[in-house]
Amino acid sequence: MTSERSEEKGFVVVDRRASAGATDEPEQPEKPPAEEPQPESQSGARPGPAPSVDFATLVQSFFVTALHHLGLVADREGGQPPEPNLPAARQNIEILEVLQAKTRGNLDSDEQRMLDGVLYELRMRFVEVSRNRRA
């Protein structure tokens, strides 16, 4: 069996719609627009580079989101904590529980301790907020 090596070529899109001055020649691609300067945040500081994504960052993201939904983290814009959204908070806790189950045996001791601690903290706060809403 012989193997032939095919060269990868780009493709050309030709607009064949009827319009004045249409030709069969492909149009030259437009240059991408120059990047517009990003608006500064309300504090006046420019946002820095995004943090590296690792296991700890992922867990922290769900943790902070759950705290926000529990009404325990102030909103950036208004500075006030939002009304608790218990179903949304529960969903974030359940996502972390799935992550815990699916990574069992694959985490180092620090990652496991962090995940266990985050889940414990969220469960306790969930119960606390749930009780306060009933009272």
**pTM summary value:** 0.62
Percent of the residues in the chain that have a pLDDT greater than 90, as a whole number? 50
Task: Output the pLDDT for position 81.
Answer: 83
Q: Which residues contact 24 (CB under 8 A, 6 or more apart)?
A: 14, 16
Task: Output the pLDDT for position 125.
Answer: 97
* pLDDT one-digit tens code per residue, 96-125: 999 999 999 999 999 999 999 999 999 999
